[in-house]
Structure 1
């Protein structure tokens, strides 16, 4: 007997509005993310600023609304002033985070220009590792103050008379991690972040701030870190960050595909901590979440150990993603949508070459990795409101995780366009899943298309020579009968069922 899973959604049962920034990404000065990725002067497809147009087109197709920059671990030893002004006067510096040489040929002004070309806003991370309050206010003044002060006039002298108006700022990066330059206790970081936030908003009261949460759920200081940091920063920040990466080093695919269950629990736990601090402070303010690093990351660990130090832009963290990685990324996107009421920003880490959906060859081609496609589908079609998914699904157990539903799914409704999108992953590795969705509150629905990402080989990858090995097709079998939707979901598949309520 075929496996059967059912879902009911109602247009009035809304999780929350999907903030466009849920589909953000991340560019760090790490490996070939910048040099050889988004910026490569002399490349046949580079423009006069050195921006690779082939990469820009792939980024534009993703409709990425916001991009975090310049790090990451890199930022905790970074002086933003090294990368502004004439290129010839910018110093080369040792980057201790990744043991490379940073030439500083690309910095804030270049990134703002590139982001505009990509159609994205900037999320700027400040250095709270080796720097502090003074640099926090100075960088905001340089970026956002109109004119008439030292730092704003310096920006104008660099050719940028109008302010950049960067509205979203991260107060450091992973300050709970012993690997971080300037690692701090929760008490130390909370006090510093509080004071930095205060002066940054005195310079520009319109900005929004993200405080560092734990670097991962497994951190020994998790929960206590969040509670302590928020105790200091709650009144001055709008978001608390979450970071999480998953891997499959033991080749246990069933467990790997279940990791987003743990992601759900992570988000729920951090939300509970935020609400505890809110209650403790008798505050009326709701703290939102910024899941500003998330992805699959493990393929490149061994090769990264063999790299010689002190190179410029070596091939670091260049995970080559396969079909099962795309399924996990799809499940993680569904997890974010299921928490759209509190997770308002998220950044797929990263965007180009470094654990990224887009890969390039220096001087050569650019192509989309397997994980590019679920991210693109969610960004293009997962706008509007996220709806509560009532799901009945057969389940399975792994060595680590129990009661894992074979069906992972959520639906979004865009009232402006009349579109409903169902995102669904069949986690079963060998069996089809009969899927039924009841959309009774919407009345008659018409099928627009059923996109499917599947491959019989879960280890299949895309390469420069074969960029279309893993690619979605429109040959899904979904049917719409009024408000009843049915489909046979292929084993180990990512599905996007697009519907409209318009005639």
Structure 2
């Protein structure tokens, strides 16, 4: 087949509305995500609460709508009470998930304050590893109940008269994983999730709850875990979570860039499982998905194995991302958008320093990693209605997948702004890919810009000394030809083609 691809998008053939929360992220008490990341008193840019201003500005540049906290594996051994009240009275604890010392200088109230300054919403996780329904409902009472009870009045005594009104809550984290403190079988977890959800909603009926799905798609219990868990807590929860990370450990870039096809299959399998349980229960309620951990993660594994235990905020999971990582992150965003009808929340894990789009130096600067750019572009320009992409593309076979299309793409129609945005990855490592985009149902349009992220060196990365080594430009080749856009997608490139409708 000739190296040419075609994409047809029809205005009335829609996947669903984009819930802006699919562009969420994640902050865990892990490595330098909190200490040295979002919080560093004494830093030249820090405000009166110790929040780094340079980091806040980079986060605002992505327009992150929701941030998950405080974990992650961390939450399964965490007592939320340790992180509230006078800082000088807060205990230092052994943190077993990542084998560090947790000083508890930053906790729930600081996180909520930080969220307000970052123009984002909190997504709070409760500990269902070492704790259970009682502690979960107490946390909701402390955070969300107005006043007149011991815990709501304690929040007021801590300086927060108004309730935090945290809407979204995660019922634990990766409870199927043997690495998790308090790991459980599906039946054990399903029961505790149901009971926790019940009492949490009794305290605040307005909240929405996310049950733990499988820790990744390779778990031996997937998808039976989802079926059992949902069978036990279907009526009490609103979402089920997905987690998945990828890495190019075999140094096989063509196979690495195909991994988003596995993400597609993962999402579709979880949707099918949710719908099967719905059918068995004869229920009108539909469970949606929260893909609340996803990213590339593998670069830092060797360095992490050498970290001395029991230090405070060591540099853990500090992957330095290269150009090919940004391409896969772009495809993972496309995978999420293609199922916008069911994936209503997602969290790039994580936000700062720990497998993150933003890196910092303690006492120094902050800079954008390569993966910052597709994340930013999708969040800023990927709002509206996702259109069904009808794609024809040349294909290749990789080690793990066959018939991998060189073109990975999706389109979003923002009727309010009068724009259509096409996100596209060219997976071909050595050739540009001509692309014809048929937009006949939209009438007239013009190209606003064609943003391209490309680099001749797939392993090139941004660093403190070279923060713009890999950065996008707006010199992409896209021209109007009647009712079509004729574009050229450079080899191994991420593309954002923005069209203004007449």
Q: Deviations over 1:196-234 (max 9, x none)?
A: 000000000000000000000000011110000000111
Matches within 5 A, 1:9-88: 9-88=9-88
Q: Matched residues in 1 for 2:44 and 2:433: separation?
A: 47
Deviations 1:16-44 (A, max 9, x none): 10000000000000000000000000001
Match of 1:429 in 2: 429
CA distance in 1 between counterparts of 2:229 and 2:403 reads 33
Deviation at residue 245 of structure 1 after TM alignment:
0.1
Q: 2:340 is paired with a residue of what secondary structure?
A: coil
1:109 aligns with: 109
Instruction: Find the aligned partners of 2:26 and 2:479 in 1 and give their Cα distance.
Output: 37
Whether the 8 Å CA contact 1:82–1:91 is kept in 2: the answer is: yes
The answer for the alignment partner of 1:119 in structure 2 is 119
- Whether the aligned pair in 1 keeps the contact of 2:66 and 2:122 (CA below 8 Å) is yes
> Which residue of 2 is the match for residue 294 of structure 1?
294
Is contact 1:56–1:117 with CA below 8 Å preserved after alignment? Answer: yes
Which residue of the partner structure matches residue 382 of structure 2?
Answer: 382
Structure 2 CA distance, aligned partners of 1:163 and 1:111? 14
Matched, 1:93 2:93: yes
SS in 2 for 1:191: helix
Tell me the equivalent position of 1:238: 238
Aligned to 1:222: 222
Mapped pair 1:321 → 2:326: no
Q: Report deviation, 1:481.
A: 2.8
Compute the TM-score of the two structures, normalised by the length of structure 1: 0.99
Return structure 1 stretches of 4+ with deviation > 4 angstroms: none
Q: Which secondary structure does the structure 1 equivalent of 2:231 belong to?
A: helix
Counterpart in the other structure of 2:132: 132
| Cα distance in 1, alignment partners of residues 501 and 460 from structure 2 | 37
How many residues align? The count is 502
1:294-313 mapped onto 2 (5 Å cutoff)? 294-313=294-313
Structure 1 SS opposite 2:220: coil
CA distance in 2, matches of 1:434, 1:446: 18
Give the Cα–Cα distance (whole angstroms) in 1 for the partners of residues 69 and 347 of structure 2. 11
Q: Specify every segment of 5 or more residues in structure 2 that has no aligned partner in the other structure, as ranges.
A: none
Aligned position for 1:185: 185
CA shift for structure 1 position 2: 5.6
Corresponding residue number in structure 2 for 1:279:
279
Q: CA deviation at 1:308?
A: 0.1
Match of 1:254, SS state, is helix
| Partner SS state of residue 50, structure 2 | coil
Match for residue 487 of structure 1?
A: 487
For 1:284-335, what per-residue CA distance to the aligned partner results, in whole angstroms no more than 9, with x for missing partners?
0111000000000000000000000000000000000000000000000000
Shift of 1:483: 2.5
Render the CA deviation track for 1:120-168: whole Å, top value 9, x for unaligned: 0000000000000110100000000000011100000000000000000
Q: In 1, Cα distance between the equivalents of 2:455 and 2:14?
A: 33
**1:190–1:232 contact (8 Å) kept in structure 2:** yes
Q: Is the 8 A contact 1:419 1:501 kept in 2?
A: yes
* CA shift digits 1:432-477 (9 cap, x unpaired): 1010000111011111000000000000000011100000000001
- For 1:483 and 1:303, the matched residues in 2 are separated by 52
Provide the C-alpha distance between the structure 2 equivalents of 1:489 and 1:49, rounded to a whole number of angstroms: 45
- 1:446–1:482 contact (8 Å) kept in structure 2: no
C-alpha contact 1:447 1:500 (8 A) present in aligned 2 = yes
**Which TM-score applies when normalising by structure 2?**
0.99
Residue 166 of structure 1 aligns with which residue? 166
